[in-house]
Structure formats: structure tokens, C-alpha cells
Amino acid sequence: MDTPQSGIFALGTSSHAYLEFDLLDDGKRAQFAATIAAIREPRTTTGGVNFVIGFRPELWRKLLPDAAPEGLAGFNEPIRGTEGFAMPATQHDALVWLSGSAYDVVFDMAKSMVRDLAGLAALAQETSSWSYRHDRDLTGFIDGSENSTLMDAPADALLAEGVAGAGGSVLLLQKWKHDVSAWEALPVEQQEQVIGRTKADSVELQNKPEDSHVARTDQDAFGKIFRRNMPYGTVGDHGTMFVGFSTEQSRLSKMLESMAGLVNGKRDALTRYTEPLTGAYYFVPSVESLRRVR
Ligand code: HEM
């Protein structure tokens, strides 16, 4: 039995940090991976921190080839959609996502990680996130309604027993900046047409437009994923950290293509009010695999 990293399913935390690292010297990749995998969380009952550790798929394959999912690749090329819309590729070598009940513990752990990795890796991207009105993203809509319950989410997110990488997960991390003034200028009824759900209570619209976000990412068409999106940013500059786990990379990549208008020519209306700033895939190995790189 392979054990997934528990942070994937650790709901209910309000403070988050996403640290993306670039390895400085490829010859030191084993030491780099061992240092990240050796992170020890504070084990207090009320003040603990959750971790999710992921590696660039190509790097992970070099580290532990027998535990690398077949065909998994980084976000190495931008996605060029219709009408000049594009999603950038900003792949890095590793991700550490920390979450906790308060930002001080997350901050202290993040700081010590960066210190431990000094000389081995550069901190390439850092985003801190916080929950907004319980389960809303900064569009004001409830985010995650169509997620499976925690009983079923492992089947959506984890590679099955018996395959290379079992107990691991494919993670897409994408930072989306919101065009706040354009979004807030829309009446609520129009915002609902963009998302495909009602704003107050997240009821799916009966006749949702084909370019609505929910229609463009329909899990009945692309397969189930498990989302842990979080708001990020300041009053003047904010958006959504898209954090999506899947058992198969193609579910995520097909959703992105669909949002970009490459599946049926209909670009996701949400992409007219939000802009992807980053895009990277990470393989989040099982706990047993992580132990092997230590
Ligand atoms: C600015 C970025 C994004 C925002 C604010 C956002 C927000 C939302 C909201 C409010 C919903 C409806 C409620 C729910 O079921 O959760 C939703 C649904 C969904 N989103 Fe997103 N989302 C974003 C990006 C993405 C991306 C990049 C993907 C895929 C790669 C994605 C995949 C999905 C899926 C699969 C659903 C459920 C669709 C279904 O009903 O089957 N989202 N999103």
C-alpha cells in the first residue's frame, strides 16, 4: 500500500505558501531532493504545518525512475489558444506547498526551508495565500463545489496501486491574476453566465452557456480532478492560485486546452477576466517514494 502525502487532502487551513525552486547544479539533484524530502513538520497538535512536496516530472524520473509515472511531462511549452490568448509555461524544479492554521508557522517553516536549500536551489516563485469567506475564491463564487468528498477524492487524485508512481499525484499549479475592475463591472447575472453557476449558493445553471467555465472544464467530459484553489494577493493585485490534482495528466491538460478554446473553438469566458501568470506540473510522490530519496 502506498501512502499519499496527507497535505493533499488536509482541508480547512487558512494560511498557505507555495514555494517553487530551481536547482542550481544538476550534479547536486540527489542532495537537493534529499534536503526537500527531509523537511520535518512541527508536530504540535494545534500549531502544525502540512506539506505537499512535488518535483518537476523530468527531474523525478532521473531521481527514481521506477517510481515515475509513464509519459508525465513538465509544463514545458506555452498553450496558445484562440484570439491570441496564451497560458505561459513557467516550469520549475520543485514545489513545496505549506499550509497551516496561521501564517506565522507557515512563514517560519518556509523561511527555514529556503535556508536549508541555500547553495542548492534558488527560490524562483513564492506566493502566499489565504482563505476568503470560508470557501470562496476572489471572484466571490464558491470554489470546489464539484470536488468529490474526501472518501472519493483519492480515486480522482492518486495514481492507482500497481502502476509506476502509485500513491502519487499529478499537480497543476497555475497562478491566475484577476482583472478586478472588469469583473466587478459585470452584473451578478452576467458573472453567473461566465462561471455557469449561481453566485450565492453555487447551483449549476440549467442552460449554462457553452463558453461558461463549468462547461469548458466539465468533468463528465474530461475526467475528475481534485481542486484545492486558494486566493492570493493584495487589494490592488490579486487572484486565484489554481491547485489541481489528478491521477492523469491528460485530464488537466485537456481542461487547459478547452479553456483556451482549442477543443471546440469556444474559449472559456473566465479567461476574459483572469490571466494566467504561471503554469507548472509537479509529480507529488507517495510518502514511501519520498523516503527513498532521503
Ligand atoms: C482564475 C482561475 C479559476 C477560477 C477563479 C476558478 C473558479 C471556479 C469556480 C467558481 C467553479 C465552480 C464551482 C466548483 O465546482 O468548484 C469552478 C469549477 C471548475 N473548475 Fe475552475 N477556476 C479557475 C481555473 C481553473 C482551471 C485552470 C481548471 C483546470 C485546469 C479548472 C477546473 C475546474 C473544474 C474541473 C471545475 C468543475 C467543473 C464541473 O462542474 O465538472 N478551473 N472553477
> Please, which pLDDT band fits residue 45 given cuts at 50, 70 and 90?
low
> Please, which pLDDT band fits residue 1 given cuts at 50, 70 and 90?
confident
> Is the Cβ–Cβ distance between 279 and 75 less than 8 Å?
yes
Grid cell digits, residue 164: 509506476
For ligand 1, say whether the CB of 143 is within 6 Å of any of its atoms. yes
List, in sequence order, every beta strand (DSSP E) within the chain: 15-23, 49-55, 79-80, 86-87, 94-100, 121-130, 169-178, 226-227, 230-233, 238-246, 274-276, 280-284
Q: Which of 289, 37, 18 is nearest to 166 (CA)?
A: 289
Alpha-carbon gap, residue 128 to 230, rounded angstroms: 9
pTM of the model: 0.97
Alpha-carbon gap, residue 40 to 162, rounded angstroms: 28
Residue in 138, 143, 204 to alter for ligand 1 test, most ligand atoms within 8 A of Cβ: 143
Alpha-carbon gap, residue 75 to 108, rounded angstroms: 30
Residue in 75, 227, 252 to alter for ligand 1 test, most ligand atoms within 8 A of Cβ: 227
Atom of ligand 1 nearest to the CA of 141: 10
For ligand 1, say whether the CB of 91 is within 6 Å of any of its atoms. no
Sole residue written with cell 499549479: 173
Decide yes or no: CATH 3.30.70.3420 for domain 12-292: yes
> Is the Cβ–Cβ distance between 183 and 139 less than 8 Å?
yes
CB count within 10 Å of CB 257 equals: 17
CA of residue 108 to ligand 1 center, whole Å = 31
CB count within 10 Å of CB 87 equals: 23
Q: Which of 171, 149, 152 is nearest to 69 (CA)?
A: 171
For ligand 1, say whether the CB of 176 is within 6 Å of any of its atoms. yes
> Is the Cβ–Cβ distance between 167 and 268 less than 8 Å?
no
Task: Note the pLDDT tens digit of each residue in 76-118.
Answer: 999 999 999 999 999 999 999 999 999 999 999 999 999 999 9
Task: Note the pLDDT tens digit of each residue in 137-151.
Answer: 999 999 999 999 999
Alpha-carbon gap, residue 85 to 56, rounded angstroms: 25
Rg (CA), the chain: 19
Atom of ligand 1 nearest to the CA of 218: 41
> Is the Cβ–Cβ distance between 94 and 5 less than 8 Å?
no
No. of helices (H) and no. of strands (E), the chain: 10, 12
Q: What is the pLDDT of residue 153?
A: 98
CA of residue 145 to ligand 1 center, whole Å = 9
Task: Note the pLDDT tens digit of each residue in 216-267.
Answer: 999 999 999 999 999 999 999 999 999 999 999 999 999 999 999 999 999 9
CA of residue 217 to ligand 1 center, whole Å = 7
For ligand 1, say whether the CB of 257 is within 6 Å of any of its atoms. no
Residue in 152, 217, 246, 257 to alter for ligand 1 test, most ligand atoms within 8 A of Cβ: 217
Lowest-confidence region among 9-18, 46-55, 282-291: 46-55
CB count within 10 Å of CB 74 equals: 20
CB proximity list for 192: less than 8 A, separation 6 or greater: 198, 199, 205
CB proximity list for 207: less than 8 A, separation 6 or greater: none
Alpha-carbon gap, residue 79 to 2, rounded angstroms: 33
